[in-house]
Amino acid sequence: MNALEVKELTKVYPEFTLDKISFCVPQGHIVGLIGRNGAGKSTTIKGILRLIAAEGDVSVFGKNMGEDEMAVKQMIGYVGGGFRYYPRNTLSAIRKAYAPFYPTWEQGKYERLLAQFKLSERKKVKELSEGMKVKFALALALSHGAKLLIMDEPTSGLDPLSREEFCDIVLQLVREDGVSVLFSTHITSDLMRIADDIVYISQGKLLAACPLKELLGKYRLARFSSLKDATTAKAIGVKAVKEGYEGLLLCDMQVATSAAATDATIDNIIVHLEKANEEGICAEFD
């Protein structure tokens, strides 16, 4: 069973359209939602959570969000980027305001998570580091029995060590507690560490929804001595670099003799596919 199924999610704004986005989060998987700023990642998450009115169907563990929103939301834990609680509030005050919304709230689990994360309810929000704020948001999100964790840029603003610790926590939640995860991020090193699958959105359209290894295995990064060589090789999203030109080549394409090809990273793939899209070249992932 899939933890999350999204079918043709659509939201139309005057200057932006999220266009029929469909993907799934398999149970027990970590799925990274990627794309440049303004691509539609946050709109997708808000549409899934019905924080905005959007067309399309959303199901969580087989239950349709539109038919039983309250029951479905009990199964979801949400962690947003930043931490917007009043800075002078104590963690205790925030928990007392938060817990009554969830009939399935588990105080014992909450206290175990606080101990694991080394958090004290006596602390005020303003006294927490950015990493501690994320841990507290996770404690709240997971203490009502949520089996699907949805996160929007949770590691934004964290230092490398805090991001590493966050990734370790997420992996532990998946392996030991059976939690499934969808999280948007622009920090691709986090994805390389923990993601099973990738959902890639560009300009409101779905470019890829597949296992991470499949996406990385589709392209190679090639460097060329001239623009003519890059064009002849049919490189995707060609751009000038310090020592010539570079672009993506499909792995099943013959590499030109003048090109040096290496494995492509997620960053490489995003940069060159976005450039191809800006130039009006279809770069969809089939």
pLDDT in tens, 146-197: 999 999 988 877 888 888 888 898 998 899 889 999 999 888 888 889 999 9
Contacts 24+ apart (CB under 8 A), 99-105: 99/143, 99/144, 102/74, 102/143, 102/144, 103/74, 104/74, 104/144, 104/145, 105/143, 105/144
CA–CA distance, 138 with 15 (Å, rounded to integer): 34
The residue among 82 and 109 whose pLDDT is bigger is: 109
In contact, 145 and 73? CB cutoff 8 Å: no
Q: Kindly list the domain boundaries of the chain, sorted by start residue.
A: 2-203, 218-278
Percent of the residues in the chain that have a pLDDT greater than 90, as a whole number? 60
Q: Is the pTM of this model over 0.85?
A: yes
What is the CATH superfamily name and number for domain 2-203?
A: P-loop containing nucleotide triphosphate hydrolases (3.40.50.300)
Could you report the per-residue pLDDT of 63-105, keeping only the tens digit for each? Answer: 999 898 988 999 999 988 666 677 889 999 999 999 999 999 9
pLDDT band of residue 286 (cuts 50, 70, 90) is very low
The answer to whether residue 255 scores a pLDDT higher than 90 is no
